[in-house]
Chain A
C-alpha cells in the first residue's frame, strides 16, 4: 500500500510528539522530539525547530533526515524519509504555525519559551508504516456527514431575522447536527478590546456576559489573528479560564462574570466570526475527547461561523429599519414591591438588589430605559431611537446594539430578576417589571 501525506491527517494534530533524526557529514546521529510538524502540501512538511541548533546544522551538511510521526488516535507510527528543501521565516504558513504554537504553549504555561523562529521545510521522498506489536484497534466511531450537517445549520440560521434566533440556531445546530455539547458564541466589543459571551451551550452557569481580552487564550488569539486556533490534547494543560464554580458572590465583588469551561477538556477550537472582511466575534467549542475536532470539523465550523457573522450583521441593520412604536396604552399594573437598582458611573456597572448584572454599554442601556420608565412610564423602545439617543453616549459602534440588548436580556433572565427585557418584534424591545425600580446613581 502506498501512503500519502494526506493519509496521515491524524499525525499532524500535535497529540503525540514527532521525532526527527539527522546525521552530520561524519555520520554522527542526532535525535530529538519536535513540537510541531505541519503538512505544507502533498509532498512537503514543515518542522518547527526552536531549540536544536544541532539538527539545523546537520541538515545543512547532510540534507537527509528521518521523521517518525504518530497517529494521535491509534498510536500507529509512520516513518518518513525527508530531504531538506528550504527555511521559512515569514509568510502565511509561518504565521499560521506561529499562532498555533503560541496558543498551545500558553496552555502549558510556556508562553514565550516556544517562540517560533523559523520553519524548516522538507520534501518527503518515502512514507512507510512501522510494524506494530498491537492488534489494530477497533474502528473509530463514525462522524456525522458534515456537509449535510452544515447545510441544515446554515438553513436554520438564515431563517432567523433577530440576534436571539441566530445565536440559538447556531448553537442548537452545533449540538443537534454536529453532536458537540459545549460551545460559546462571543461577540467582539472593539471599544473594550474584549470578546463578550452572548450565547452558551452546555454550561451551568451559562457564562453569558463573561469576557475574554482580545489576544488572550485560544479565544482571544483567534479573534486577534482572525484565524482558527485548535488544541487537540490538553492532558498536560492548565485551563486558561476560571475553574467552574458557583460565582455569584465573586461576581458582585469583581464585577466580571467568569468564563465557563470544562475542567477536563481535552480538545478546544476557536473559530473567528468574519463578515465583511472584519472579525466580529468567535465561536468556541470544547470536548472531553482527545482530537475531537478534525479537518472537516474545522471547515464546517468556519462556514457556520461566517454565516452567523453575516446574519448577525444583517440583523443589526434590519433592526434599525423598524419605526419607533407608540407605547401601547399606559395601563401598567401597580407595582407594590420595590427593587433597588444601583448604577456606578465609573464603569457603568449595574447592581439589582445587590446582585451584579452587567457593566459597560449594556449597563448604560438598562439604566436609560429605567430612567425613561420612571420619568414617563415608558416601557417600549426601538433600536433606532436608542441609537439616536445622545444621552446614552453610545460609541460609534456599527454592528452590535442588537447583541448588547440580547446579552442584557439573557443576563436578566439568568439572574431571574424582577426586571426583564422582552422582544416585541424586529428592532423593538420592551421592559417588563415585576417590582418598581428605585434607581440610585453612584457617581464616584
Chain B
C-alpha cells in the first residue's frame, strides 16, 4: 500500500534529492549551529545575550534514531525549530541529505523533514476533520488528483491504526492517543526521510504511550525512517534510540551510543540525569541527593 504513496510523491515531485558522494549516508547534519537571543534591559544598560543553542554539531545517519535528552530550557525545542526551518539560526547551518537548508524554501524542506509535536491537543486544527488534516500537505504540494489524494490519506490513516469511522471526525472527538496517531499520519503523508519527534508521548498515559512507541518502531522498520527523538523520559529513550545526545544549557555535553550512556556515562550532568530517573523498582528508594555539578 505504500507503493501507492511512493508513486504519488515520485510522479509529481521533481527528483530533488541529491545523492552526492559526500554525506550519502548522513541524513541530517548540523554544523556549529547557534541561536542567540538578545535581551534589552533598558535604555542605558548593555543588552544581554542568551545562548539558547550554542555551537551544536550533530550527525544523524540514515535509518538511526538519535535521542536528545535534557531538562526544560536546555534548548532542545529551539534546536528542533531550527531544523524544521521555523527559526533562523544565528550561526551555523543545517544539511539535509548533504544539501544546505534554505530557510526561505520551507515547502522543499517539508518533503524531507517533518515534525511530531508534544501536545496533540494544540497541534491539530480544531476546525478541520481528520481526513482534511492529513490530506492538507498533499494539497499544498499539489501531489496527485483529488481522488488519489483521498486514497493515500486512507492508506496512511489505516497504517497508523485509525478506524475508518474517525476519518470524518474533528480532533475534539478523539482521544489523546488517536490525536497523536493523526499527527503521525500527517507527518508521514509526504514520505519524509526524517521525523523530528518532540516529546511525542509525554502528554499521553502510559498504556497509550506504549501503543504510540510501538507504532513509531513499526513505521521506522517499514519506511526506513530516521528519527530525532527529543525526550526527558530516559526509560523511553533507552528503549527506542541507537545513540543519545545529552544537552545542557544549549550545548551537547555528551554524545554516545545507548549502551555506553546507560552503563558508563562520563559527564557529571548525564550521571545526575540518570540518577534522577525513577524506574518502577521498589526498594531502591530515591537515591542520594546529588547537588547540581558546577559548570563553566
A binds B: no
Interface residues of A (CB under 8 A from B): none
